[in-house]
């Protein structure tokens, strides 16, 4: 499901079962990440799927990338793998006005 920045962030903040998922590359993540997000690079192909399979499928995932394309693709893959809820951030982090931190 695609959500605008405001909807996505408000929903994530109110959701006690939320997991923020960044599907960008390591180089992109090094420029800044939304606080508390986990990173799994969608370009890892099968490695991306393998890492997704280790996640709790009952959580609600709030997924983003740079512009919204890769995260939409990731949400589709997650739905096929049996994840109950995956929300795509329309416009990605490039349009993001919320908090961003450097990764640890």
| pLDDT score at 103 | 86
pLDDT range class, residue 22, cuts 50, 70, 90:
very high
Which residue of the set 65, 66, 78, 86 is catalytic?
65
Note if 65 is an active site residue. Answer: yes
Q: Which CATH number does the domain housing residue 53 bear?
A: 3.40.250.10
Inform me whether the pLDDT recorded for 104 exceeds 80.
no
DSSP per residue over 16-74, as a string?
TTEEEEE-S-HHHHTT-B-TT-EE--GGGTHHHHHHHTTS-TTSEEEEE-SSSHHHHHH
Structural domain total, the chain: 1
Q: Which domain holds residue 62?
A: 2-95
Query: Does the residue 104 lie in any domain?
Result: no
């Amino acid at each position: 499901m695609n959500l605008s920045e405001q909807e996505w962030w408000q929903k994530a903040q109110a959701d006690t079962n939320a997991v923020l998922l960044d599907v960008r590359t390591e180089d992109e993540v090094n420029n800044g990440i939304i606080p508390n997000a986990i990173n799994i690079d969608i370009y890892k192909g099968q490695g991306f799927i393998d890492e997704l399979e280790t996640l709790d499928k009952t959580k609600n995932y709030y997924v983003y990338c740079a512009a919204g394309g890769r995260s939409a693709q990731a949400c589709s893959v997650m739905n096929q793998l049996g994840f109950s809820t995956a929300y795509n951030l329309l416009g990605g982090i490039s349009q993001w006005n919320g908090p961003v931190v450097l990764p640890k």
